[in-house]
Amino acid sequence: MADPLNAETAPNDFLPAVLAPVPPLGMGWVQRFVPVQNRTPDMVYARQLYVGVSILATPTFAAGMAVLPWLGAGHLNPILAVNLALVLGGLLAWRLRWASFRTVVHLQLLAWWLAAFSAVLALGGPLTSGASAIWGLVSPILGILLLGRAAGLTWLGLWLAGLAATFTWTLAGLPTGSPLPPVGAGALELNNLVQFGLFSVFAMNWFVEQRELAERAVAAERARSERLLAKGMPRPVLERLRADERVADRLDDVAVLFADVVGFTSLASAMDPRDLLRHLEALFATFDTVIERHGLERVKTIGDCVMAVAGAPTPMPRSAEAMARCALDLRDVLGQGEFAGTKLQLRIGVHHGAVVAGVLGRKRLAWDLWGDTVNLASRMESTGAPGRVHVSDAFRQAVGDAGVFDDRGEIEVKGKGRQRTHWLVAMADAAEAKGAERPEAKAEPGGL
């Protein structure tokens, strides 16, 4: 289904129901009548309704000029002719861009108002005019639908003033037209009530239709916004935000991973931007697949570097072991691929400890992690080696016998001094399945 709020693509079947009585004219013609420069999403339906009512008004006035002589009120023909000129002239002025939409609408509302109360006086007053004054209510109804509540209430006030003025005029004995014969007055009243009732139903149907379209558009936009938010932060965090809860947690059992593509900067500098983006999308899609497979969360990307976490935002048992399996999986899966024809190699660093997790931002919300654990995990990545998983001693202890490690010894870590680190080689169960023996720890002098 085409977007009903898109003025350029709104299909004909979304036109207001008020156009239903004029199918021979063709709803497509009505839509094409709306000037292109005026086809804005917030007004397209109001303008189509305006054109439709104007089209309906034309045969109504024409029929009035033909019928009134038979009813004995042929002197109303000049009044109806003036109003018909106002309606058609307003349409033409708007189509030719001589007048603004609001001006032309007010002109047509004035035509309805004048027609109603001129008919009342010409037919002997409010009590003998066959309820002709009821047509003056078209002005406030269309005013609300087309121009807003303030304009509609203004025209309602003018209708009440016109009704009071015609009563006062008649009671004062001022000159009016001749009343219709009883049969004519009854027929006219029945006709007015039926036609005005149909008009009111059509107008209310249009209003309800527009409200439903707006509600569906709001619901679709809300769903789209939530899908976009879900791509940037975990679902448990989104649910807390919906509940208007401030997201700020301290989590003690968390493993943080940084994975960087080796040599990415030199590769990217020689690539076309569109090709670069296409390759990056494929690369990060693989990152996401592997991370989600292990039940972890990707926190963010920084250039070609990915940050992932186990144990946040929801605590999980054996978070370090889950992160170890994910890190090895990333190393093996992405190590078999290529980036723009060059074999991929990842430099991966992992640390285990406590973090603070929360959501920051007003215009752009982002869920992130802070703390020494994040900093040290980043240092593990930057001091690691291509194709290897470099981990801290705290992470080694958290994984325990579930992993197979090579001891790297002590190295200098910026801001932390000398730290003992390790290489994660494999998981113990995977090594045993391959018949591998656990290697003896090999101390490695500081540095690579």
User: What is the pLDDT at residue 14?
Assistant: 28
241 assigned to some structural domain? no
**213 and 254 both lie in a single domain:** no
User: What is the pLDDT at residue 201?
Assistant: 84
- Choose the final residue of a domain: 173, 192, 225: 225
57 assigned to some structural domain? yes
Closest by CA position to 44, among listed 57, 35, 53, 54: 35
- Choose the final residue of a domain: 195, 225, 255: 225
* Size of the chain in residues: 448
27 assigned to some structural domain? yes
Residues 102, 104, 108, 113: what is their CA dihedral angle, to the nearest 10 degrees? 60
Q: Residue 299 corresponds to which tokens in the numbers above? A: 């926190």
User: What is the pLDDT at residue 409?
Assistant: 92
CATH (domain of 305): 3.30.70.1230
Give the helix/strand (H/E) hosting 95.
helix 77-95
Determine the Cα–Cα distance for residues 274 and 280; give it in Å rounded to an integer. Answer: 10
User: What is the pLDDT at residue 442?
Assistant: 43
Determine the Cα–Cα distance for residues 293 and 287; give it in Å rounded to an integer. Answer: 10
Those residues of the chain that have pLDDT short of 50 are: 1-43, 45, 436-448
DSSP-derived letter for residue 345 is -
Closest by CA position to 34, among listed 49, 13, 23: 49
Cβ atoms < 10 Å from Cβ of 253: 18
What total number of domains does the chain contain?
2
Closest by CA position to 100, among listed 19, 6, 37, 10: 37
441 assigned to some structural domain? no
User: What is the pLDDT at residue 274?
Assistant: 87
The owner of tokens 């406590």 is 354
User: What is the pLDDT at residue 308?
Assistant: 96
* Runs of H (alpha helix) within 96-181: 101-122, 138-142, 149-171
User: What is the pLDDT at residue 31?
Assistant: 45
43 assigned to some structural domain? yes
Q: Is the peptide bond before 313 cis (omega within 30 degrees of 0)?
A: yes
User: What is the pLDDT at residue 73?
Assistant: 53
Q: Is 164 helix (H, G, I), strand (E, B) or coil?
A: helix
- CB under 8 Å to 310, separation ≥6 — which residues? 254, 255, 257, 294, 295, 296, 297, 316, 319, 320, 322, 323, 326
164 assigned to some structural domain? yes
User: What is the pLDDT at residue 95?
Assistant: 55
Which backbone phi and psi does 171 adopt, to 5 degrees?
-65, -30
Does the CA dihedral 168-172-176-181 come out positive or negative? positive
240 assigned to some structural domain? no
**51 and 143 both lie in a single domain:** yes
User: What is the pLDDT at residue 336?
Assistant: 72
Expressed as residue numbers, the domain containing 296 is 247-433
**157 and 280 both lie in a single domain:** no
